[in-house]
Amino acid sequence: MKNLELARIFYQIAEFIEMDEVSFRSRAYNKAARVLDSLEKDVQDIYQKGGTKALKKIPGIGEAIAKKIEEFIKTGKVKTYQRLKKQCPVDLETLTMVEGLGARKIKILYKKLGIRNLKDLEKEAKMGKISELEGFGEKSEKNILQAIQFVKAGQNRFLISSILPIVRQIINQLKELPQVYKISIAGSARRMKETVGDIDILVTSNKPDKVIDSFVKMFTSPKQSEGGPRISKVWAKGPTKSSVRFRAGFDCDLRVVKKESFGAALQYFTGSKDHNILIRKIAKKKGLKLNEYGVFKGKKKIAGKNEKEVYQAIGLPYIEPELRTNTGEIEAALRQAQGKLNQLPKLINYNDIKGEIHCHSNWSDGSRTINELALSAKKIGYQYLVITDHTKGLTIANGLDEARILRQMKEIDKVNKSLKGIKILKGCEANIKVDGTIDIKDEVLDKLDIVLAGVHFRLKMDKKDMTERIIKAIENPHIDIIVHPFGRLIDKRPGYQMDFKQVLKAAKKNKTVLEINAHTSRLDLRDINIRQAVEAGVKLAIGSDIHSVNCFQMMELGIAQTRRGWAEKKDILNTRTLTNFLEFFKDKE
């Protein structure tokens, strides 16, 4: 997949252009880079199937950039990029990460001081050379030195699961302020992206400066309890906006607006960038102006109080935050506005889940007893919980063999008798062996209510073999659900090679369900795959891959992922009541 390599090159070309001119050329390269960054199809495939003509069909890619993509695929190089790099041989990717440094300043630093990378930058700043330059000063130099430390500390994206609890803490504390009226999280965290770079918080108040002041004081105060969120650096602090870094390593923007602008501001700060650009274009075409304060007709404000009103004012139905990625949701909204029904999905809700389908007890590698897990599930309000311990092929997880599965079934019967208000279902998470067969005998699988199966070893197979392996499991009448279908780990492991279209075909034909694994490090299926599955008519189920009682809360992430995949309640099996859930699998065998 050459998409990301090309995206990196185009991002840098954009910066190089920016050094010399305020131009729309650099914007075009940025746009192309962003598009490639999130393009699900392999750009090389597209090229090989349809040449530059096909490339030009990708939004944001025209004649010139298509040629450069072609050049890269053919020669592994982009001459324009190499020429620019030669003229100004700096490590743009790292230097632009330094807060406050952009293309222009980086060029000055290179021309005047020969700074090429972070090391040079730190050296010159420490010697006081930077403050002597025109356009820089004492403060810039000090800020650069601090910013370098943050870049060195690395990490600029965080798992949504690790960020959300902290953000909720921050929001709860801000709510205590008497000047705060409304408050909401915005940005990619509101869209529930798998990973987020920074956090946006939006507040309404009549005394914005007071709120900003209190915010900064509140979280830098030594009184702020040990372990709670603490601000480690204030990047900016104005009358309505402040930008800070928390000790946990992420940046946070707080923005205060008047309540009549809350909707417009929330819409704006929720993004995504591409979604907003298109929305504003639509507004403009209608002779309106959309900014974070409202929708304006001339000087007259016609909307802004809430998001619904903002979308309405430009002629669109409300679009859920998780959908705002400019991947077809605006086109769907436009069609819906023209009277076509059900163009935007009616997304599954966060309270639609009726049971947990993926749960490990202390019989294998979980830490809790079946009874403890059942009590937790009941407390959430679930109607059922499927116990799905690992099986013998996974010795490292103390997997169960046939005899232990049978013993565990008896134990579950016992717990079921002692508990009211929740039903424990018997299951397992079996292993799909290299040849696609299962590591537990059919006659035992037959006795279980729900059988999950997944690939847990030999993850690196070629595409054809892995596809066959998984399809064989899908065709196995004893298998109900394929878990973590791609085996990916967020930002760590890309997931195995397989022909997902074939897999979907087989799943549909055999009525086999695919899991959306909600585990914080997995989130597998990905949103684009969920969308493909929904379109193919394949049923899905969200599983939290529970290993302890505090894992139940991961379901929220799974639902978010599911929403980003355009799935509705009807697509997700564990939104069904116990009876309907079991009914689905009955006629499978």
Partner DNA sequence: GCCGTTTTCGGCCCGACTGTTTTCAGTCG
Give the residues lining the site for DNA (CB under 7 A). 18, 22-25, 27-29, 31-32, 56, 58-66, 96, 98-106, 131, 134-141, 143, 187, 198, 200, 236-241, 243, 251, 253, 269, 273, 276-277, 280-281, 284-285, 289-293
**Nearest 5°: phi and psi at 38?**
-110, 10
Closest to DNA by CB, 280 or 308: 280
Round to whole Å and give the CA distance between 137 and 176: 39
Round to whole Å and give the CA distance between 175 and 222: 20
User: Quick one: which of 296, 290, 271, 200 has its CA closest to 241?
Assistant: 200
Closest to DNA by CB, 13 or 525: 13
CA dist 221 → 228, 229, 244, 300 (Å)? 11, 11, 14, 43
Tell me the closest approach of the beta carbon of residue 334 to DNA, in angstroms.
10
Tell me the closest approach of the beta carbon of residue 524 to DNA, in angstroms.
28
Helix 79-87 crosses helix 3-20 at what angle (to 10 degrees)? 50
Tell me the closest approach of the beta carbon of residue 322 to DNA, in angstroms.
18
Closest to DNA by CB, 187 or 263: 187
Closest to DNA by CB, 333 or 370: 333
User: Quick one: which of 138, 141, 572 has its CA closest to 350?
Assistant: 572
Tell me the closest approach of the beta carbon of residue 127 to DNA, in angstroms.
16
Closest to DNA by CB, 7 or 452: 7
Tell me the closest approach of the beta carbon of residue 141 to DNA, in angstroms.
7
Tell me the closest approach of the beta carbon of residue 437 to DNA, in angstroms.
48
For 137-197, list the strands marked E by DSSP. 158-159, 182-186, 195-196
Closest to DNA by CB, 92 or 538: 92
Question: Cβ contacts of residue 125 below 8 Å, gap of 6+?
Answer: 141, 144, 145, 148
Tell me the closest approach of the beta carbon of residue 182 to DNA, in angstroms.
18
Closest to DNA by CB, 103 or 479: 103
Tell me the closest approach of the beta carbon of residue 68 to DNA, in angstroms.
8
Classify the C-alpha dihedral 34-163-160-210 as positive or negative. negative
Q: Where are the alpha helices (DSSP H) in 427-525?
A: 442-445, 463-475, 500-510
Closest to DNA by CB, 24 or 318: 24
For the CA atoms of 341, 344, 350, 352, what is the dihedral angle to 10 degrees?
A: 40
**Nearest 5°: phi and psi at 435?**
-90, 5
User: Quick one: which of 331, 449, 444, 431 has its CA closest to 387?
Assistant: 449
